[in-house]
Amino acid sequence: MIKKQILVKVLFSVWCLCITLTTYAQYGKYVDPKIGSEGLGRVFIGPSAPFGMVKPGPDCTCKPNSGWLPMPEVVTGFSQVHVSGTGGGPKYGNILIQPYCGELDTESHEAKREYEKIELGYYKTSFQESGIQTELTTSDRCSFYQFTYPKDHKRSLKVDAGFFLGENVVPDAREAQQFVGSEVEIVSDTEVRGYSRIRGGWNNGRAYAVYFYAVADKPFTKTLTWKGQISSLIAKAQCDEGKKTGAVLSWGEENMESTIRFKVGISFLSSLKAQENVRREIPHWDFNKQLQTVRLQWEKLLERIELGKDATEAQKRMFYTALYHTLIMPVDRTGENPLWTDNLPYYDDFYAIWDTYRTSNPLITILSPEREINIVNALINIYKRDGYMPDARSGNANGRTQGGSNAEVIIADAFVKGLKGIDYKLALKAMLKDATVPPGGNEEQEGRGGLTEYNRLGYVPHGIDRAGNRTVEYAYNDYNIATVAKGLGIQDVYEEYILKADNWKNLWRDNYEYDGVKGFIMPRSASGEWLDNVPFGHSKIQHPTFRYTPVTNESPWYTPWWGAFFYEGISWEYSLSIPHDVPALIEKSGGKDAFRRRLDTFFDKGYYNVNNEPSFLTPCLYHWIGRPDLSGERIRKIITQNYNDTPSGLPGNDDSGAMSSWLAFHMMGLYPNAGQSYYLIHSPLIGEYTIRLVNGKSLHVMAKKFSSKNFYIQRVILNGKELCRAWINHDELVNGGELVMEMGNKPSKWGMEELPPVKM
C-alpha cells in the first residue's frame, strides 16, 4: 500500500512537471533567435539565459562579432562568451571547444554544417565531414554540450584556450582583440581547467581573463596539451608564458553511437570559481532538464506581455523575439567582478548605453523593474570604484563613448518612474561628475569629451571629435541632471542645469536653409563663427577643406569617421533629436506647419535612417503638433518595409536589443521618451495585448474594430474615463486596468489638443 502511494505521488509529480513545461512553452515557442542574424542585425544565435554571463555558440572563423555566419561557412568551434547585435570591432569568443573524429593533434578541425536547429535556449548542428552532432544549452554561467559521435570513430575534443574573436595580424590594431596569455591543466580523467587573457576589442579595453572549468561525463582515455608550437602527450599542464595553450581529450572508439556530455563553467575570477558555477548551476547530467530550466527562466519574463488572439504567427515571432533580444544584455556578473569586492550588483557589456537608453532600458523597466534597479545600481557602483559611470563597458573596462554621458538618461528614467532601492543622491553625484570633471585625456573611455569648451562656450566647437552630437546629447544629459536635482529638492543644481539643457540652441543655425527647411545644428568654431567649409587632414601648408551640409554623412572618405561632427548620423537627423524640448524645436523650425513640412521632407526625401538610434524618436514627433495619426502612419510604414520574421528581419545592428525593443514598443502602440515619465500612444500593430506587471496588476489594451484598414485611433478610454491626450504616464500604466482604443479608417481629432508634456 505504501509503495502504491509513493508511485502515485511520483506519477502525480511527473504529471505536474509535464503540465508546467507545457504551460511554460506558451510564449518561448515564438522566440526565433535567427531573426536578425543575417544582414546588419548581427544578433547572437546561441543559447543564453536572461542577462546570462555565458553565451555559448558556434564561431565561424574569428571574424564575426557574434561568432556565427550563415551556412555554408565552416564552424571553427564553439566558444563560451559572446555579445549580440554589435558593430565595430569584436569582443570575446573565449575558450573554444572543437569536437572531431581522429587521433590527438593540434590541427584545426573546421567543419561544414549539414544543418542547424536554433531555438530558445538550444542549438544543434551536425558536421558534414564527420557526422558529429553537437547540441548545446546553458545556464547563467555554465555551458552544457552533448556530442553524439558516429560509431567506430575515435572521439576527440579540442579545448583551445588561445582562441578569440577579432584576432588581427597587425600588432595593436585598433578595435582588434590582442592575445595576452593563457593556461591549461588536465586535472583528472574527466576534468580540465585554465584561462584565456585578452585585451582590446571594440572598447580598446584593458586585459580581461576568462577562466574555465570543464568536466565530462566519461573519463578520457588519452590526452594531449600544447603551448605555442610544442605539444606533449605527457605533460598535464601548460603554464602561462604569453603563448597560446590548449588540450585535446579523447575517449577512444566504441562500436556503437556514443554521446559525450561536457559542461564548461566560466568565471572572471578563477578556475575554482568556474568549477563552483558548474556544481551550483548544473549539478546533474540531464541535458533536457537543463534545457527546460533555461526555458522556464525565459517563460517567466516573456509571459509578462501576452498578445491577443488576433496577432498573427509572424507578429508573435517578431514580438517575442524582440523581447528576448532585449533581455540578453547587459550581462549580470554579480559576484564575478575581478576589480573590487562587494555584494552590490555588477553588470558588464553595456554595449553601448548610447544605443540602449532610448528603448531597451525602458522596456526592461516594464518587464523586470527589479532587474533595471540592479542595472542602475551597477552603474552607480562603477562610478564609485572606477571614477565614472560608463557610456559603454565590456570586459570590465569602460569605453567607448560615442556621444553624451548617457548613463544620466537611465538614472533619470528610473527616477521619474519611481524605481525604489536606488541611492539617487549618490547617483546625482555620479551625474555631476560627468558634467563637471573632464576625463583628462581619457575621453574615449568615459566622461564627456570637450567638456571644458562645452561649459565655457555652451557648445562643443568644431575641431573636437563628434562636436555636433556631443552638444545635443550633453544638453539632454543636463536636462536629466536637472530632473533628478529638482525631484530631490536641490534647487541650485536644478536651476543651473535646466539652463544648460538649452545649449543645443547654441549650435542651431537659424537662417541656414536646405531643401526648403530652415534651421539646422551646424558646425561652429570656438570663436563663434559658423563653418560652411570645415578642414580635413593636418596639412599646415595647404589647409584643405570640404563643404559641410545637413546631408554630409558621417564624413567624407578622406577624414577619420570617428572624428566627424556627427557620430553615425547627419544634421537632418540630429536637428530633430531634442527629446527633452520638442516644443522649442518646433518654434525654432518656424511653428507647427513648418515643422510638419520639415518632418514630411525628412521622411519623404529619405533622410530618415531606420538602422540607427539617433532617429528612434523622430517618427513620433508628429505628436507634438497634435497629429498622432501621422506618427502612426509613419511607424506602420517603417515597420512594414523594414522589419520581418526572417533572418534578415532587422534593418540595422540590434545593438544589445535596441533595434528589437524599438519594434516591441511600436507594435504595442506605446513609445517611451527616455528620461521622462510618459509613453506616447499611437496606432498599434496588434489589436489586443495584456501587460502583466510585477506588482500583481495588469494593463489590458484593446483596439476595437482594429484591422488593416481601421488603424486610426478615434477615441481612447482608460479605466472607464475618456483620455483625450495621446500619451499615458508610467504610474497610470503600472496601476493597470484597461486601455481601450476605438479604431476607424480615417484620422480623427483625437490627440490634437492636449499635447505631450513640455520641459520642466
What is the band of 15 on the pLDDT scale with cuts at 50, 70, 90? very low
| Contact predicate 54/143, CB 8 Å | yes
**What's the rounded Cα separation, in Å, for the pair 666 and 663?**
5
Among 318-327, 437-446, 555-564, the range with the most confident prediction by mean pLDDT is 318-327
Inform me whether the pLDDT recorded for 540 exceeds 90.
Answer: no
All residues at 6 or more sequence positions from 301 whose CB lies less than 8 Å from its CB, including other chains: 50, 323, 327, 367, 368
- Which runs of consecutive H residues, i.e. helices, occur in 282-367? 287-302, 313-326, 353-356, 360-367
What does pTM read for this prediction? 0.95
Give all strands of the β-sheet with 712-718 in edge-to-edge order: 305-307, 688-692, 698-704, 737-744, 712-718, 721-722
Look-up of cell digits 505521488: 9
pLDDT (average), residues 591-608 = 97
DSSP state letters, 381-449: HHHHHHSS--SSEETTEE----SS-THHHHHHHHHHTT--S--HHHHHHHHHHHHHS--TT-TTTSS-T
pLDDT value at position 172? Answer: 86
What is the band of 16 on the pLDDT scale with cuts at 50, 70, 90? very low
What is the band of 169 on the pLDDT scale with cuts at 50, 70, 90? confident
**Domains and their CATH numbers in the chain:** 31-283 (2.70.98.10), 305-681 (1.20.1610.10)
| Contact predicate 411/368, CB 8 Å | no
All residues at 6 or more sequence positions from 667 whose CB lies less than 8 Å from its CB, including other chains: 315, 318, 319, 322, 639, 684, 685, 686
Inform me whether the pLDDT recorded for 19 exceeds 50.
Answer: no
pLDDT digits 0-9 by tens, 204-240: 999 999 999 999 999 999 999 999 999 999 999 999 9
**What's the rounded Cα separation, in Å, for the pair 664 and 711?**
17
What is the band of 3 on the pLDDT scale with cuts at 50, 70, 90? low
What is the band of 152 on the pLDDT scale with cuts at 50, 70, 90? confident
pLDDT (average), residues 179-190 = 98
Inform me whether the pLDDT recorded for 689 exceeds 90.
Answer: yes
Closest CA to 241 of 288, 184, 282, 290: 184
pLDDT (average), residues 117-128 = 98
pLDDT value at position 25? Answer: 75
pLDDT value at position 6? Answer: 52
Q: For residue 148, what are the CA distances in angstroms to 96, 132, 154, 400? A: 18, 6, 12, 42
Let me know how many helices (H) and strands (E) the chain has, helices first: 18, 34
The helix (H) or strand (E) run that includes residue 263 is strand 258-267
> ∠ at Cα 602 (601, 605), nearest 5°?
70
E strands, 478-605, are: 508-514, 517-521, 533-535, 545-547
What is the band of 557 on the pLDDT scale with cuts at 50, 70, 90? low
What is the band of 632 on the pLDDT scale with cuts at 50, 70, 90? very high
> ∠ at Cα 391 (406, 206), nearest 5°?
170
pLDDT digits 0-9 by tens, 561-595: 688 899 999 999 999 999 999 999 999 999 999 99
pLDDT value at position 306? Answer: 98
Q: What is the mean pLDDT of the chain?
A: 94
Q: For residue 49, what are the CA distances in angstroms to 294, 327, 335? A: 6, 9, 17
pLDDT value at position 1? Answer: 54
All residues at 6 or more sequence positions from 631 whose CB lies less than 8 Å from its CB, including other chains: 619, 620, 621, 622, 623, 680, 682
Phi, psi of 101 (to 5 degrees): -105, 130
Give the torsion sign (CA, 259, 160, 184, 248).
Answer: positive
The DSSP code for 625 is G
Straight-line distance from the first to the last Cα atom of the chain, in angstroms, rounded to the nearest whole number: 74
> ∠ at Cα 180 (197, 395), nearest 5°?
45
> ∠ at Cα 471 (468, 472), nearest 5°?
90
Residue 729's SS3 state is strand
**What's the rounded Cα separation, in Å, for the pair 174 and 200?**
8
pLDDT value at position 194? Answer: 98
pLDDT value at position 542? Answer: 77
> ∠ at Cα 263 (222, 126), nearest 5°?
80
- Which runs of consecutive H residues, i.e. helices, occur in 652-714? 658-668
564 vs 182, residue with greater confidence: 182
pLDDT value at position 399? Answer: 93
| Contact predicate 576/622, CB 8 Å | no
Closest CA to 244 of 296, 305, 289, 179: 179
Inform me whether the pLDDT recorded for 155 exceeds 90.
Answer: yes
Look-up of cell digits 573565449: 94
C-alpha 355: how far from chain center: 8
**What's the rounded Cα separation, in Å, for the pair 64 and 18?**
39
Inform me whether the pLDDT recorded for 143 exceeds 80.
Answer: yes
pLDDT digits 0-9 by tens, 491-510: 999 999 999 999 999 999 99
Inform me whether the pLDDT recorded for 734 exceeds 80.
Answer: yes
C-alpha cell read off for 52: 546570462
**What's the rounded Cα separation, in Å, for the pair 54 and 144?**
11
Pairing assessment for the beta strands 177-186 and 155-160 based on DSSP bridges = unpaired
Interior/surface letters 429-441, b for 16+ CB within 10 angstroms, e for the rest: ebbbbbbeebbee
C-beta atoms surrounding 757 within 10 Å: 15
| Contact predicate 711/632, CB 8 Å | yes
Inform me whether the pLDDT recorded for 9 exceeds 90.
Answer: no
Residues forming beta bridges with residue 547, ordered by sequence position: 533
**What's the rounded Cα separation, in Å, for the pair 611 and 602?**
15
Inform me whether the pLDDT recorded for 535 exceeds 70.
Answer: yes
C-alpha cell read off for 13: 509529480
DSSP state letters, 176-227: -EEEEEEEEEE-SSSEEEEEEEEEETTTTEEEEEEEEEEEESS--SEEEEEE
pLDDT digits 0-9 by tens, 310-362: 999 999 999 999 999 999 999 999 999 999 998 899 999 999 999 999 999 99
Pairing assessment for the beta strands 737-744 and 698-704 based on DSSP bridges = parallel
What is the band of 10 on the pLDDT scale with cuts at 50, 70, 90? very low
All residues at 6 or more sequence positions from 628 whose CB lies less than 8 Å from its CB, including other chains: 622, 680, 681, 682, 713, 726, 750, 751
Inform me whether the pLDDT recorded for 20 exceeds 90.
Answer: no
Inform me whether the pLDDT recorded for 24 exceeds 60.
Answer: no
pLDDT (average), residues 159-168 = 96
Phi, psi of 537 (to 5 degrees): 75, -175
pLDDT (average), residues 684-698 = 97
**What's the rounded Cα separation, in Å, for the pair 669 and 671?**
7
Q: For residue 169, what are the CA distances in angstroms to 69, 172, 173, 208, 636? A: 21, 9, 8, 20, 46
| Contact predicate 84/661, CB 8 Å | no
Q: Is 624 left (phi over 0), alpha (psi -120 to 50) or beta?
A: alpha
Inform me whether the pLDDT recorded for 733 exceeds 70.
Answer: yes
Inform me whether the pLDDT recorded for 18 exceeds 70.
Answer: no
pLDDT value at position 12? Answer: 44
